[in-house]
Structure 1
């Protein structure tokens, strides 16, 4: 291989183009994934009401949202998930995001507790101990 004559011996040069391409692809990936996460939290569900509801304080904490419909169907990451696969999916999210992950349960206000209990059990089996419910204040429900 022929060495360019304008370089001094022992001097190397790096091609930054592939690294810049990778950085741009990562930026695009995170923009798209954050947009999908926001859409999931805004899925139209008539949430239950609660006087003790609190505003989200730490919005930077890693979070996974499970939506539960009246018929008991589960929606995780915008896709329907069978109840028997929920534990492994939550475990994978915990592995990816770390131990400080929070599970946010959003359910229809008509959903019976029998449909919520398996989600909570799957979370504890996956090692997720921080569980919160999405609610609205009674005055906002009108």
Structure 2
């Protein structure tokens, strides 16, 4: 009985730590753009590479700031992986365009920009 209790406690700790790490990508406070259309993200967090750009055009990965040079080297090697970009609504498009161009040059095709959903009233 004691080994089973140990395993259960280890599983609880594992899930607590993994859920904390999966939420870490959303800690950077950015004001996302609103969108009435879009699709809900259904892929698991392990398959998603998330970047965050704040209002000062700083690029973050998991809460740590990246320079543009380091950014391209930190991209996943597998270009079929999903890339999610969280962008502050006040950021000029030219800054986002540089990131999108780098992703395109590296062969990434499944890139999405995260937005906040808004309620749309139907007539």
TM-score (norm 2): 0.73
- Name segments (4+ residues, structure 1) moved above 3 Å: 30-34
Task: Determine the structure 2 residue equivalent to 1:49.
Answer: 34
1:83 is the counterpart of 2:62 = no
The equivalent position to 2:50 in structure 1, one of 62, 65, 75, is 65
Task: Determine the structure 1 residue equivalent to 2:117.
Answer: 137
Q: Aligned partners of 1:129, 1:136: CA distance in 2, in Å?
A: 22
Task: Determine the structure 2 residue equivalent to 1:10.
Answer: none
TM-superposed deviation, 1:57? 2.2
Q: Aligned partners of 1:83, 1:74: CA distance in 2, in Å?
A: 8
The equivalent position to 2:97 in structure 1, one of 117, 124, 138, is 117
TM-superposed deviation, 1:42? 4.4
TM-score (norm 1): 0.65
Larger % of strand: which? 2
TM-superposed deviation, 1:85? 1.8
Larger Rg, first or second structure (1 or 2):
1
The equivalent position to 2:84 in structure 1, one of 87, 98, 104, is 104
TM-superposed deviation, 1:49? 0.7
Secondary structure of the residue that 1:54 maps to in structure 2? coil
**Root-mean-square deviation over aligned CA pairs:** 2.5
